[in-house]
Structure 1
Amino acid sequence: MPTTITAAVVAKAKADARPGSKRYEVSDARAKGLVLRVGPSGAVWQFRFAVNGKDTRLALGDIETWTIAEARDIVGRGQAMLRDRSGMPDAKWIERLLVRTGKIAEATMAPAPERPRDVFKWSFEQGRAEFLGEMKRTKSPITAADYRQKICAAEFEPFLKRPLPTITRAEMAGVVGKIHRSGRETHAANTARVVSAMWSWLEKDQQIDAAGVTPGVMRGLKAPERTRRPSKRMVADPTLEDLGRIIAIARSGAIDPIIGCAVELVVWTAQRRRAVASPMIEDFRALNGDEEGLWYVYADDRKRSDGEAHVVPLPASAWACVKRAMAIVEAAWHRRLDDDPDASKPEYLFPQTRARRRGMPLTHLDPSTLTHAMGFMPGVENSPHDVRRIFGTYGERVLGWSRLSSKMILDHSEGGLRTDVTGKHYSLHDGTHEKWPIMRKWAAAVEEDVARAVEGLEPIDELKGAIAERRYKGSGLRMLAAE
């Protein structure tokens, strides 16, 4: 309970402050936050207050330095600073008071900040948490995770406790430049984009008062120019030989059958690996007596946060791959039912067999599994991303379709056809009538190379040995398949 600190209380504190004595505190009833702390090493004045819900103890000096009246005056000034948000009581402030009152000759610490109100604004860590929370609410899970990975990099740790208004564009440019100089040039460009997006969000009316940032301060932040690399010259027409071998190995039994089906679907559809790894069984629809089908790629499996599904036609060969995966998943579920009658039916076409970390739920294959599976295949040089490049290049140069046709299959927004007013509100057709000829022509071309690859395929034991060698010696890890 607070007690009015008097001369008698101070005298007793002096007497009690001796080696071996017990520690105790006396809270002053006349100056809220003023505390006299007594212990074996002496008796000192303290100012206790809270900022943003965090309790702080500021040492004012010992009882020989300040009288009771002076200590109360200091606490009163500190309370006024906090109330008016005109500054933060700290050790530098106490030192300036000591100099002003003649108790020490000169200050040895840095001067007060030019804008003391900045200390009451969000720190970088607080602003980042708010920004990432908003990205989780408004963006697709994949995009939100990408933002988190960029803005939570180790290079930002020195800024965590800094108030946002004190962080300059030059400092952020320095972080981006450091990443660029380390050789991660693409990462540097993406980091600059995310930092700029975060500051643009902090400038909005809803949070600018809490953030305190200057509008436009990070606008246009960019990474240094990328290093010029020799251009790739392709004189001969691209071939599908590699893709035929990929499917032949995927079907051979040399790799896990579910992973094999997923790798096949990459080749048949030319969709991004994250979309291929994560579809749910209900995303597929049978057509023509279960001979062909449609795949509805929803926003959560793409980089878009909302919008209509991207519909991919599946000709017979592609649909057979999907049906084979469904049969494998169904059979595995029935086997589990023998041991656990309450086992839930899998939702994903390519489910995980084990969680990535202990305690995490089982979901779907990790996209990197597809990259590694193709990288471990002997005689295969292409990654999942290369399949998309081959689809566009071979399709336009050899199979003869247009650039717009490539975009209808490869683009998230189908070449922009679904992003204008007509596509959003009036013409709601999925466009498959134009996509079917493209996908059937692609499937027919790939099937020819699959047949040739199967004829020349090595024995399964030889394939397994080669895959194991590439896997454990790391030669297949050369492809990271950035998308």
Structure 2
Amino acid sequence: MASRARNKLNVKQVEALLWLPDPKKPLDEQRAPAEPNVYSDGGGLYLRVRPSGRSWFYIGTLDGKRIELGLGSALDISLSKAREKAGKIRSMLIDGKDPRAERSRTTAVIKPAVTFGKFAMDLVADIEDGFKNPKHRQQWRNTLTTYAQPLFDTPIADVTTENILAILQPIWLSKPETASRVRGRVERVLDAAKVKGLRSGENPARGRGHLELLLPKRSKASVKHHPALPFAEIATFMAVLGKRPAIAARALEFTILTAARSGEARGMTWSEVDMEAKLWTVPASRMKASVTHEVPLSDAALAILETCRPDKFKPTDFVFPAPRGGSLSDMALSQLLKRMERDDITVHGFRSTFRDWAGEKTQFAREEIEMALAHTVASAVERAYRRGTALEKRREVMAAWADYCLPASLPSDLANHAPAS
């Protein structure tokens, strides 16, 4: 029996695609949201699923050329309403009419000024695909909707320095990192509006030579870093962590032993691991600096991989999968620390623990330590010169770090971990 050309989706399917995680519940206790994709209902109607939202759009042809029209958010427009809109567009195309021109005539009667909020949210939707980390997409929206909300109803052409100061002054000293992000993101929104011809003149959110002259100067003490565990306590911490059976515990152990960023370890697949060469190669697409990074694996790190490796797996499978599929979330490791009653430290802080240990307790060169952390060092010429020998030197660094984290005098269950369920 031939498949239906139209009305391929049903209400239950659409509801499943619209489902998003509950921010009040741990992500590892919820089902995974729909993967970013485009779903066809037939007849030119499509549902686009992104981490930032779900929307309907129509694709058709006019005079042999492809046209695409947005139909609105799937949270506001039901499946039946979307089909109704698609049907009207389809009828116009059959009659040789351009639905875009019709839409322009309809909206030309009243053309309200573009507000800051409308332009900002549209801009985020346009640029978010360039963000490697889904968390950054949500942070962009959250910082603007939370702290720049007073600007949302203001025509973007009329945003002034006084408007910017009004949203920054309450948080400039109390939340310096957040305030800096808000300022930078508002500045980018206003710059983009100027490029679009919606603004003119100087950018009132510019920091240097402008807002810095009007906002109070921060003390260096106000700069906050990720809370880190003192390196003298790492061995005791690892002994306690090693007794926990969850896959999140194995992921955290591996993250600590490789001094990697959490996202790099959580997103690792078996295709990136060469057990015989004792090497983990992180592709450029998953690195902060967009440069491929080779991580020499200590015996302790390899032991963790051995305990996590199933009898059968595909190269694209995650090494540390979430209980309900996909990769572990950042929240999974943070929640693990909370369950261990260690709210005083962060996952990212373990990189600082490694850096402090290497700088204070070893004689390794600074460049070797920085390269172990995947920090860019020196010039391109020096990096090319060091490429041949740095890997073996970094093997020594990571082996020494593993010995420090897992000394023989402290209990360690690394070699006897049962595979996490």
Q: Report the TM range for the smaller structure's normalisation.
A: 0.5 to 0.7
**1:408 Cα shift?**
0.8
**Residue 364 of structure 2 is aligned to residue 401 of structure 1:** yes
Evaluate the alpha carbon distance shift between residue 214 and residue 140 of structure 1 in structure 2; reply closer, same or farther with a 3 A threshold: farther
Of the three residues 218, 223, 228, the one matched with 2:205 is: 218
Uncovered stretches (5+) of structure 2, i.e. residues with no partner = 1-101, 414-421
Aligned length: 304
Q: Which deviations, in whole Å up to 9, do the C-alpha atoms of 1:31-63 show, x marking residues without a partner?
A: xxxxxxxxxxxxxxxxxxx9977659xxxxxxx
The residue that corresponds to 2:411 in the other structure is: 454
Of the three residues 123, 146, 151, the one matched with 1:159 is: 151
Measured in 1, the distance between the counterparts of 2:172 and 2:279 equals 42
Measured in 1, the distance between the counterparts of 2:230 and 2:237 equals 13
Q: Say whether the 8 Å CA contact 1:247–1:263 is kept in structure 2.
A: no
Q: Say whether the 8 Å CA contact 1:295–1:313 is kept in structure 2.
A: yes
Q: Which moved more, 1:398-407 or 1:240-249?
A: 240-249
Identity of aligned residues (%): 16
**1:318 Cα shift?**
0.9
Q: How does 1:262-301 map to 2 (within 5 A)?
A: 262-288=251-277, 293-301=278-286
Q: Which deviations, in whole Å up to 9, do the C-alpha atoms of 1:108-164 show, x marking residues without a partner?
A: xxxxxxxxxxx54x3223321342134323332347425524543323333334321
Q: Say whether the 8 Å CA contact 2:260–2:373 is kept in structure 1.
A: yes
Evaluate the alpha carbon distance shift between residue 213 and residue 230 of structure 1 in structure 2; reply closer, same or farther with a 3 A threshold: closer
Say which structure, 1 or 2, has more relative contact order (CA 8 Å, 6+ apart): 2
Evaluate the alpha carbon distance shift between residue 134 and residue 302 of structure 1 in structure 2; reply closer, same or farther with a 3 A threshold: farther
Measured in 2, the distance between the counterparts of 1:345 and 1:314 equals 18
Evaluate the alpha carbon distance shift between residue 154 and residue 216 of structure 1 in structure 2; reply closer, same or farther with a 3 A threshold: closer
Evaluate the alpha carbon distance shift between residue 276 and residue 452 of structure 1 in structure 2; reply closer, same or farther with a 3 A threshold: same
**1:165 Cα shift?**
1.1
| Runs of 4+ with deviation above 6 angstroms | 50-54, 426-430
**1:264 Cα shift?**
0.6
Of the three residues 120, 123, 128, the one matched with 1:131 is: 123
Evaluate the alpha carbon distance shift between residue 440 and residue 200 of structure 1 in structure 2; reply closer, same or farther with a 3 A threshold: farther
**1:262 Cα shift?**
0.6
Of the three residues 414, 422, 444, the one matched with 2:376 is: 414
User: TM-score, normalization: structure 2?
Assistant: 0.60
The residue that corresponds to 2:132 in the other structure is: 140
Measured in 2, the distance between the counterparts of 1:312 and 1:410 equals 9
Of the three residues 302, 316, 328, the one matched with 1:319 is: 302
The residue that corresponds to 2:321 in the other structure is: 351
Q: Which has the larger radius of gyration?
A: 1
The residue that corresponds to 1:435 in the other structure is: 394
Evaluate the alpha carbon distance shift between residue 146 and residue 313 of structure 1 in structure 2; reply closer, same or farther with a 3 A threshold: farther
Measured in 2, the distance between the counterparts of 1:171 and 1:194 equals 15
Measured in 2, the distance between the counterparts of 1:284 and 1:143 equals 25
Please give the root-mean-square deviation of Cα atoms over the aligned residues, in Å. 3.9
Measured in 2, the distance between the counterparts of 1:241 and 1:421 equals 37
> What secondary structure is seen at the aligned counterpart in 2 of 1:191?
helix
Measured in 2, the distance between the counterparts of 1:265 and 1:416 equals 28
Q: Say whether the 8 Å CA contact 1:270–1:391 is kept in structure 2.
A: yes
Uncovered stretches (5+) of structure 1, i.e. residues with no partner = 1-49, 57-78, 83-87, 89-118, 233-237, 334-343, 355-361, 457-483
Q: Say whether the 8 Å CA contact 2:296–2:391 is kept in structure 1.
A: yes
Q: How does 1:50-449 map to 2 (within 5 A)?
A: 55=107, 120=113, 122-142=114-134, 144-145=136-137, 147-180=139-172, 183-203=174-194, 207-209=195-197, 211-220=198-207, 221=211, 224-226=216-218, 229=221, 240-252=231-243, 254-256=244-246, 258-288=247-277, 293-304=278-289, 307-327=290-310, 330=311, 347-354=317-324, 362-377=325-340, 382-411=345-374, 413-415=375-377, 420=380, 431-448=390-407
